[in-house]
Amino acid sequence: MEQHHKELIQTNYVKLSNLLSADVDSVARELWSQKILTDGMLDKVVSNNSDRKKAYALLDVITRRGPHAFQKLYECSLAVGLEDVADVLRPDLAPHAPPRAPAPPPKARSTPGETSAPTIAAPESSDEEDLPDVWPPAESPNLMKLKVKKATDLEDPDRRKKWLRHYRKSLTPKGQEGVYEMKHRKRGSLILINNEKFDHMSDRDGTQKDRLALDSLFRRMNFNFIVHSNKTSQVLLEVLEEEARKDYSCHDCVVVILLSHGHKGVVFGTDGKIENGKPLNCVEIEKITKLFRQAPSLYGKPKLFFVQACQGNAKDSGVAPGQAAETESGDSPGKDDKPSPGKPAPSPGPTGPSSGLDTQQDSAAGQAGEKSGPPTPKVTGASTAGKTSGPGKDAVDSCDDEGRDPEAEGAVGGTQAEGEGGESPLDFLSEEEGDAAGEKLPGAGDVFIGMATPPDFLSWRRPDFGTWFIQALVEVFAKWAYKLELDQLMTKVNQLVTKAATKRGSYKQVGEKRGTLTKSFYFFPGLYEDMEDL
């Protein structure tokens, strides 16, 4: 860093520390994503026990970085909405914050019987954003520009006050009857399982795009972000058991996201495989949800699970008005396979979404070529089968008995499909005893599961973009989590995912939402129990 930039930071050290404290985690993560901070430097910053100490640590380390560090600190501060920090760093360009538009005239007084703070907000007017027309976009989103919209950002003071009233009402005993309490500044923890490299299956190219997008989103919504990467089935289960044993008393909720290959009702560890038509070295989704349902400190709190993995090998061919829906089996031949009897060999050429880029699958059965009928998942097993995926291949997030990838098509930037599972993720709920007495709550209650695809179907991933489902989730949550409850958010996610189609076959995808939530769930980003009036 140039000497005059160091001197500017030194002169304004206390002021910058105070201003950075508003969102120092996000600034540090942005600098890390820009490779200004190393992993160790990032950990040194965010491991401090107060935002002020984090800001001190960030300023201390940034002055020892290269010639681009000062400019990147300026850009990252703007990217996360800390315009006042940018004003100090570049006073020649101040003020950076755009002037507020004049407030609209006061609305007419509500008629008797209307509520001033509805549980579901009316559609916003001038600042309402629409879903993108094309999904996935031709270019990957710039995470530096990701901004989570908050009620505090609304230009109309009446609307800001309305949402503050609505939020505070949700914290009252009466409000808590219908809305989950979200009062802590640190909302909760997001626990991410991110499996990319596999022993017997194709690697999940593009999953790091999902990881970074989720990191940017949930840190901006004030969640702890915990990542466990490339875990075998046994270790995957062990780390989740450890996470479920933690004390969540000071958390409002917990979010668990699984990015891996999948099969009927399971997700695979990095040692996962299909053998004799059965999934081995995998963990049942039911078992994962049960771990957190049984956590004492999560009693009565929402437990959200999002699973990015195929649930079968069927391809959704879509349906035109007046036509019956059609599906196609995903057990097409691999690169080194011969066509099955009665089936033509796959035609050469690139595949991809409507943008012209190729797609890959995150499916186990799609690579398995297995027999029909629901297989019995097994957690253990061994095989010497090697994987055949290579750079640029389109692949399925699962494999056949010989480790082959029947969807490999050899185009760089392809879309892949993500894993199989036939059992409903909430089938275990039928095993719970009902009729809880007294003040008890159902043990299976307060669970939400968002699946990338319904049972029996593939889901799709693009190496240069990430998965259709996770990237849509980030897009929607960033724009609408401030005013829509979870079920509405996931409906928008589905609307966005259904805009996508692979180029060859024009295959479609839609997610599935299930759950036992007993109240409405709002993230309420930017709103806290002890905040002042807006």
Residues known to be catalytic? 261, 310
- Going by C-beta distance under 8 Å and a sequence separation of 6 or more, which residues neighbour residue 155? 100, 101, 103, 127
d(CA 239, CA 219): 21
CB-count burial class (<10 Å; 0-12, 13-18, 19+) for 314? buried
The three-class DSSP label of residue 422 is coil
384: left (phi over 0), alpha (psi -120 to 50) or beta: alpha
d(CA 12, CA 64): 17
Instruction: Quote the distance between the C-alpha of residue 414 and its chain's center.
Output: 21
E strand or H helix at 25, and its extent? helix 24-33
d(CA 294, CA 316): 36
The three-class DSSP label of residue 179 is strand
d(CA 1, CA 374): 60
Residue 474 has, within 13 A of its CA and on its CB side, a CA count of 28
d(CA 51, CA 222): 12
The phi and psi torsions of 63 (rounded to 5 degrees) equal -70, -10
| Token digits of residue 185 | 């500044």
N-terminal to C-terminal alpha carbon distance within the chain: 39
Which parts of 68-145 fold into alpha helices (H)? Answer: 69-79, 83-89
Residues present in the chain in total = 534
The phi and psi torsions of 220 (rounded to 5 degrees) equal -70, -20
Count of C-beta atoms within a 10 Å radius of residue 503? 20
Q: Where are the beta strands (DSSP E) in 422-505?
A: 447-451, 460-462, 466-467
DSSP 8-state secondary structure symbol assigned to residue 291: H
Strands 360-361, 447-451: parallel, antiparallel or unpaired by DSSP?
A: unpaired
